[in-house]
Structure formats: C-alpha cells, structure tokens
Amino acid sequence: MYQIGIDEAGRGPAIGPLVVCALGIPNSDMKYLASIGAVDSKQITRNKREEISERIYLEAENRDWKIGMIICEASRIDIERNKINLNKLEIELFKEAVYETGIKGNIGIIKADACDVNEQRFRERIRNALGTKWSNWEIHAKHKMDYEEKIVGAASILAKVRRDKEIDKISDLLNLDVGSGYPSDPKTKEAVKKLVNSKMPNQYLRWSWATVKNAWAKAHDLPIPIRQELGRTRIQSSLNEWSNTEM
C-alpha cells in the first residue's frame, strides 16, 4: 500500500511557475524516508534541499518510489484565473500530480498540505477531482501538513528544488537576476519593472498579479492585457476594467 504526499512551491510569486509535486512511497519505506532527512522545505537551506532531493530521486530509481511533478507556467495561471480561483487551480494541479505518479493501487493514503482555509472543503475537492478510481483511498488534508508529515515534507522539498531551478533558468534566459520571484524580494521588484517595459508584458510574469499590474500601469498608463487561450490576449481600454486583486 502506498502513501502519497502532495505539496506545492511558488503559490505567491509574481514571476515564474507554480510547481506541484506528488511523492508516492510504499508504507514499508516510510521509516527509510525519514532517515534521509525529509522535512518541511522551509526548515532547511537550499543546499540541504538539493542534497535531499537528489537522494529521493536516487531512491526512486532503486526502490518503488513514484514522483509526479507538474510545472504550471505563469501563462496557465493567468488564463485559469480568468475562470476559477487559485485554490481551485491548485486542486486540479494536485490531481494531475497524483495521476503523474502512475500509481494504480486501489487503496492507500493521500496526505496533502491544505491550501484552502477550510481543510475539509479542500479534502473533498481533492476527492472529487480524483474521481471514482481513487474512492477507496483515505485523503488527509491539513494546514502545515508539510511540517507534520515526512512524506509531505519530502514532496515540498522536491517541489521547491524544481521551482528554484525554473527560476534560475528564467534568470539565465533573460540575462537578468529575477531574484526569488516573490513580490517582496527587492531583486524581483526591479526585475518586474524591467519586464513590463516592452509592448507586451514578459511571458514569465504573472500578468494577473497586482504587483505586475501596478508596474505595467505605471509604465504605460494603461491596464495590463488579459491572457486568453491559444496564446491570445485581450487589450483592456480603460483602467476601470481592471481588478486590482493579487491572488
């Protein structure tokens, strides 16, 4: 029987993707997972996260461990937020990550770090999203689950390491240090200002974030374009059309 831990990295940034990881491990290996130092990613340094991440991937090659990793780019976040809120998008991403593991067992336990203020609602939404094939699985969803459960902490490490690599890649591609991508980061603030100076906002920005909207409006005195399906955008003609909601 498997346990699956699910967590995300990059919910709040103005730059770059949201990453969701599902890590599936047989019950018999749970003590071994703890022995390699799996904890909440926020409790350890970047170097330590990378060390543990490498160890988990190595064990996944040698043991029956399964990893599902979903990279939700900024463009998808913006497009989906035209239709649903961020919590509902994360439910979809959590489901995709579980499917990505390839686990086909009929019974097990899913442990997820709850992104919704209402833990029960988040749990039921995960169950509904997964569908009938997962109906026999126990689903636990709690706040700070990444701190309390090793398997969720391990998933948080994998997600955070992958998110950091994606941000590094963006900095390299742009030849610009974008910092962590979080709006409170001074490097990110400066990067956002530079990335809204073209005819369109940069593709790696989350156009629906207030931080980016404000920078665009200041640079152009116009509301930011709205991302739509198939790479299309809709240009807003007035600041009155613009909602200043961050998340």
pLDDT digits (tens, 9 = 90+) for 165-193: 999 999 999 999 999 999 999 999 999 99
CATH code, domain carrying 200? 1.10.10.460
Domain closes at, from 139, 168, 197: 168
**Looking at the structure, do residues 148 and 94 belong to the same domain, yes or no?**
yes
50 and 154 belong to one structural domain: yes
Q: Which residues constitute the domain of residue 139?
A: 2-168
pLDDT > 70 in the chain, percent: 94
Of the three residues 168, 189, 224, the one that is the final residue of a domain is 168
Please provide the average confidence, as pLDDT, over all residues in the chain: 92
Kindly state whether residue 247 falls inside one of the protein's structural domains. no
Q: Do residues 148 and 223 both lie within one domain?
A: no
CA distance 206 to 246: 10
- DSSP per-residue string spanning 165-195: HHHHHHHHHHTS--TTS-TT-HHHHHHHHHH
Is 83 in the same domain as 141? yes
pTM: 0.91
The predicted-structure confidence for 89-137, as pLDDT tens digits, reads as follows 999 999 999 999 999 878 999 999 998 999 999 999 999 999 999 999 9
Q: What pairing do the DSSP bridges indicate for beta strands 138-142 and 226-227?
A: unpaired
Counting Cβ atoms within 10 Å, is residue 22 exposed (0-12), middle (13-18) or buried (19+)? buried
Looking at the structure, do residues 146 and 193 belong to the same domain, yes or no?
A: no
Tens of pLDDT, residues 11-49: 999 999 999 999 999 999 988 888 888 887 888 999 999
Count of structural domains, the chain:
2
